[in-house]
Amino acid sequence: MKKISVSLLLNLLLPIQVFSADLTVSAAASLTNAFKEMAPIFEKQNPGTKVRLNFAASGPLLQQIIRGAPVDVFASADQETMTQAQQAGFVKADDQKIFASNTLVVIVPKDGKQNPTELSDLTKSQFQKIAIGLPAIVPVGRYTKSALEKQNLWTTLESKMIGTQSVRQALDYVARGEVDAGFVYSTDAAITPNEVKKAFIVPTEIPILYPIAPIKGSQNDVIASKFIAFVGSTQGSEILKSYGFGKP
């Protein structure tokens, strides 16, 4: 009797989980909904693991990592930011994996009367304010800039631009009707179908690809790799697809 109760007590006191960990994942703002859906599923499959999600524009996320934020996994909205992470020594080239793709679209408020069909339409006077992610820090802003520059429209439209801190902020401004149009990913446009409508797709010079990688020197590299594998798995891909992300 005594022996059993002692071992029962010990089992209650000692942590049962072997792989308990807090996994910190910094992901681009456009991945918010998809990753929020993935996290609890991953936690269930890996009992004892808590996934902590941190969403913002890829640029600021990188700055946090560079300044020592304890991030385990980084998923960015463009290769450029990931390359910067690599050059800064936080990510190994071999560890990077492309797991999704996206398209750039122009959206307008749902109840607005404007229906632009191409980029040059935005130069018209009914478009006074256009929301664009700040190219310095937001990948969607960079994609937009290169697309506009290709058609020599960047400088013309600059005076109308309202720079945003992330792609989701651009989405919000369009949803509120505070701007006349905005550049976001098609996956973002799908989030608020009642407030925004897609006007047209913007072809981009380089494809919009999302790389993910573990951060060098993190304490949770085993779990980090598992998470990345999950994102790339069939289950992860299905979730991403349901939000409108394309194949890598």
Q: How far is the CB of 50 from another protein (least distance, A)?
A: 26
Shortest Å, Cβ 71 to another protein: 16
Which residue's CB is nearer to another protein, number 97 or number 110?
Answer: 110
Closest CB to another protein among 81 and 218?
81
Q: What's the rounded Cα separation, in Å, for the pair 107 and 125?
A: 17
Q: To the nearest whole angstrom, how small is the minimum distance from the Cβ of residue 14 to another protein?
A: 41
Closer residue to another protein, CB minimum distance, 49 or 58? 58
CA dist., res. 85 & res. 138, Å (int):
15
Nearer to another protein, 97 or 129 (CB): 129
Strand 104-109 with 196-202, pairing: antiparallel
Residue among 150 and 197 whose Cβ is closer to another protein: 197
- Name the minimum Å distance from CB 62 to another protein: 8
- For the CB of residue 116, give the shortest distance to another protein in the complex, in Å: 19
Q: Could you tell me if 101 and 247 are in contact, meaning their C-beta atoms sit under 8 angstroms apart?
A: yes
Indicate the residue among 163 and 248 with the shorter CB distance to another protein. 163
- Residue entry with tokens 């349901």: 242
Contact positions vs another protein (CB under 8 A)? 57, 59-60, 62-63, 66, 129, 134, 136-137, 162-165, 176-178
Q: In whole angstroms, how close is the CB of 212 to another protein at the nearest point? A: 21
